[in-house]
Amino acid sequence: MAKKVAFLQGNEAGAQGALYAGCKFFAGYPITPSTEVAEVMSAELPKVGGKFIQMEDEIGAMAAVIGGSLAGSKSLTATSGPGLSLKQELIGYACIAEAPVVIFNVMRGGPSTGMPTGPSQSDVMSAKWGTHGDHPAICLVPASVQEIFEETVRAFNLAEKYRTPVMIMPDEIVAHMRERIVFPEPGELEVINRTAPSVPADQYKPYDTKFGDVPPLAAFGSGYRFHVTGLNKAEDGFPTTKAALVQAEEERQVRKVDANIDDIVTFEEYMLDDAEVAIVAFGSTSRSARYAVNEARKAGIKAGLFRIRTFWPFPDKQIKALASKVKAIITPEMNLGMCTIEVRRCAEGKAPVHGIFRVDGEPINPGQILDKIKEVK
Amino acid sequence: MAFDYEKYIRPGKLPHIWCPGCGHGIIMKGLIRAIDSLGLEKNNTAIVSGIGCASRLPGYLDFCTLHTAHGRAAAFATGVKMAKPEMNVIVVGGDGDGTAIGGNHFIHACRRNIDMTYIIMNNNIYGMTGGQFSPCTPTGAKASTTPYGNPDPAFDVAKLAIGAGATFVARGTAYHATQIDKLIAEAVQHKGFSVVEILDDCPTTYGRRNKFKSVIEMMNRLKDIAVPVKAAEKMTPEQLQGKILTGVLYKEEKPEYTTEYAKVIERAKGGK
């Protein structure tokens, strides 16, 4: 049977990906340029017995999805920059409570209200450093409509697998472009569900490290009674200030991601085998970069593209290896150098890193990147 | 036979953090008796709170308990109820948590009329942080951040809830201990968003700054100002000056949110 094909917008593909992953609860607040996610979820969720709620504000939406997740529903919220800022406290709550949730954040200009309909890639640092305290961070940065669908499924998988909030962050261009999408058949993409407890209810501890760094998570109302708090907690879920317990729990939360970087980090290498100039880019900017690489090759310049698909955890070792084999790295991005900082950190001075930064609401075009390739080659 | 509270208390979780003379323990006992009288199943009951002294209550009780972030309890509880409408959801918290930082979530939960009970333990102060004034601190009162007397007017929590659309609103006091369980039980049984405001005392951070010589004096004040709704009907406005009405203040039947959403699901599945 032929697969279902559609001409879909990025945000719509995100909503469809969430449904494919088994999302049963959405709570959100209207914000440009992500509202289509909420609109599709409001129409589609009830058809599969799921629930949609428009909350009174961004914070309430984040709170509701954590509540929904703890009650057993795979939960999604969607927002954009200002909303992401508002959600940050409770993103930290989801980290410490270890509640799997997915935050679909469409990147628009900032800071503050910025440029609501303009594209940007300036929320990537907020994804890691936005909420206070040490905590794990996973952030995916898709570059096409098809990829938004697939990466939203993966975002749910990672959230469920590692019991942590996961962000998927298309920039406004990718979120609002329309492209052909081929829907995966049910079962074609892996769908991961959280591990339910195997112990009797009276022996259940929500953060029981006997089961490894990602302990099984029971749902409220499933026969398991337990306590969840935003305070530093012990394995039984109750608050503690005992130094050794707090230290161990904090380290475990971060280790869930740090010890599984190879499972989480994804990237694409294009024409890098013999490249002398490497572009490191993500999202819509990587599409301009690919075009520029092709043009450079036509002009006889050995250029290649390293496309970041998982921004957090950052592909440290891949960038480090790249820096030791190319003459120069170019980092085009729609912000004033957020990815560039990370690339320079990983490059450790082995290759010069040249940024191309745009924050004027316009995309970085291939010509700009090509000019830079010619300049640094 | 004496009532067995321990059946509902988590082993090893007491003593609680509350100061001697605080009314929160009285309210917790009232909540336990209410739950017992209704026969609510422990596995099917979620107790959700925000941040503050009152919000530590869920940790002591043997239910599905969720101690959330400051002010956010009603929004977390909304998520729990949407995901599992068959669960009993009870929110507990203080006046600052519920009506200041959580005010937006509170009024919108009232408006939606989602089936849960919100118990506001109103001691007129931010106790845990050391006695800063809250939206429920009386005008003129002393708090650690109103050293010259509070210039702010106070919220009437019950009126706020009624105005925002709550369909059951009751008020009691920590002094009238035996009334608390009845008010909470009636609130939980009500289909819709119910609010029970319990006037409480904080001797440590409010009483000592406002010339109360003892906890007994604070409790006696609660006794003196409380007037049952029925009794108030026969009193003149002069006689009601400085008094606070207690009992069931408001009740109406209105469509409940999760029931209405179930109809949305039916319509969506039916393609209408």
Which tens digits make up the pLDDT trace of B219-236?
Answer: 999 999 999 999 999 999
User: Which chain A residues contact residue B265 at CB under 8 A?
Assistant: 46, 49, 51
Judging by DSSP bridges, how do beta strands B168-173 and B45-49 pair with one another?
unpaired
Beta pairing, strands A102-106 & A75-80: parallel
**B78 contact A CB<8A:** yes
In angstroms, the CA A4 to CA A228 distance is 42
User: Cβ neighbours of residue B272 under 8 Å, at least 6 residues apart?
Assistant: none
Structure tokens at A304: 């290649």
Looking at chain A, list the stretches that DSSP marks H as alpha helix, in order from N- to C-terminal side.
10-20, 35-44, 58-70, 81-97, 124-129, 145-162, 172-176, 243-258, 261-264, 283-298, 316-323, 338-347, 366-376
Q: What pLDDT does A29 receive?
A: 98
Report CB contact under 8 Å: A72, B84: yes
CA distance A13 to B32: 48
Specify the CATH number of the domain A266-376: 3.40.50.920
> Looking at CA atoms only, how far is residue A95 from chain B in angstroms?
13
Q: What gap in Å lies between CA A159 and CA A167, rounded to an integer? A: 9
A71 neighbourhood in chain B, CB within 8 Å: 46, 79-80, 83-84, 87
Beta-carbon separation of A220 and B62 below 8 A: no
The total of other beta-carbon atoms located within 10 Å of residue B244's CB is: 17
CA distance A186 to chain B (A): 20
Q: Which residue has the tokens 């990237």?
A: A267
pLDDT of residue A1: 65
DSSP tag of B113: T
Report the gap between the CA of B214 and the closest CA in chain A (Å): 32
Neighbours of A304 (CB within 10 A): 22
User: Count of CB atoms within 10 A of residue A200's CB?
Assistant: 9
Please count the residues of chain B.
272
Whether residue B75 lies within 8 A of chain A, CB to CB, comes out as yes
What is the set of domains in chain B, with CATH numbers?
Answer: 15-270 (3.40.50.970)
pLDDT for residue B1 is more than 80:
no
The pLDDT tens digits of the residues spanning A347-370 come to: 999 999 999 999 999 999 999 999
Q: Which among B62, B77, B261 has CB closest to A67?
A: B77
Give a three-class secondary structure readout of B148-176: CCCCCCCCCHHHHHHHHCCCEEEEEECCC
- d(CA B132, CA A30) in angstroms, rounded, equals 34
Mean pLDDT of chain B: 97
CA atoms of A295 and A236, how far apart (whole Å): 59
Domain A5-182 shares a fold with domain A266-376: yes
Rounded CA-CA distance B164/A77 in Å is 26
Cα–Cα distance measured from residue B70 to residue A323, given in angstroms and rounded to the nearest whole number = 46
User: Tokens in use for A110?
Assistant: 């900032």
**CA-CA distance, A163 to A197, in Å (whole number)?**
13
Q: What is the pLDDT of residues A243-288, one digit of tens each?
A: 999 999 999 999 999 999 999 999 999 999 999 999 999 999 999 9
From chain A, pick out residues whose CB is under 8 angstroms from the CB of B55. none
Q: At what angle do helices A338-347 and A316-323 cross, to 10 degrees?
A: 70
The shortest CB-CB distance from A90 to any of B72, B83, B87 is to B72
Whether B44 contacts chain A with CB within 8 A: yes
Cβ contact A64–B79 (<8 Å) = yes
Per-residue buried b or exposed e for A337-372, using 16+ beta carbons within 10 Å of the residue's own CB: bbbbebbbebbeeebebbbbbbbeeebbebebbbeb
Set of chain A residues whose Cβ sits within 8 Å of the Cβ of B46:
71, 220-221
What tens digit of pLDDT does each residue of B2-50 get?
899 999 999 999 999 999 999 999 999 999 999 999 999 999 999 999 9
**CB A56 to CB B104 under 8 A?**
yes
> Would you state the pLDDT for residue B271?
63
The interface predicted TM-score (ipTM) is 0.97
∠ CA B205-B206-B207, nearest 5°, is: 105
CB contact under 8 A, A55 and B78: yes
Closest to B111 measured CA to CA, from B166, B53, B168, B175: B166
Residue of A nearest to B83 (CA): A68
**Residues of B with Cβ-Cβ distance to A56 under 8 angstroms:** 75, 104-105, 107-108
- Our separate counts of H helices and E strands in chain A read 13, 15
pLDDT tens, B157-181?
A: 999 999 999 999 999 999 999 999 9
**Token pair 């962000």 in the structure block, residue:** A167
Dist CA A356 CA A341 (whole Å)? 12
Q: Chain B partners of A69 at a C-beta cutoff of 8 Å?
A: 79, 83
pLDDT surpasses 60 at B272:
no
Residues of chain A contacting residue B51, judged by C-beta atoms under 8 Å apart: 230
Cβ contacts from A onto B, under 8 A: 144
Rg from Cα positions in chain A: 21
Q: How many CB atoms lie within 10 A of CB A247?
A: 11
Measured N-to-C along each axis, helices A58-70 and A81-97 cross at an angle, to the nearest 10 degrees, of 30
Q: Specify the fold of A5-182.
A: Rossmann fold (3.40.50)
Is the distance from CB of A257 to CB of B78 less than 8 angstroms?
A: no
How does pLDDT run across B42-63, given as a tens digit for each residue?
999 999 999 999 999 999 999 9
Q: Which residue of B has its CA nearest to A41?
A: B268
Look-up of token digits 């760094």: A213
Looking at the complex, does the CB of residue B16 fall below 8 Å from at least one CB of chain A?
no
Q: How far apart are CA A14 and CA A20, in angstroms?
A: 10
CB contact under 8 A, B108 and A75: no
- What length does chain A have? 377
The closest CB to that of A63, out of B46, B68, B83, belongs to B68
Partner-chain residue, chosen from B82, B86, B265, that has the shortest CB–CB distance to A68: B82
Both structure tokens of B24: 């929160």
Instruction: Give yes or no for B269 touching A (CB within 8 A).
Output: yes
pLDDT of residue A177: 98
State how far the Cα of A48 lies from the Cα of A348, in Å rounded to an integer: 50
Mutate: best of B41, B44, B49, B80, partner A, most A CBs <10 A:
B80
User: Tell me, what's the pLDDT at A2?
Assistant: 83
Cα separations in angstroms, A212 against A81, A149, A216, A229, A256? 35, 30, 9, 20, 9
Tell me whether residues A57 and B67 touch, CB distance under 8 A: no
| Closest in B86, B104, B264 to A46, CB measured | B264
Domain ranges of chain A: 5-182, 201-262, 266-376
B68: pLDDT strictly greater than 90: yes
Q: What is the pLDDT of residues A301-321, one digit of tens each?
A: 999 999 999 999 999 999 999
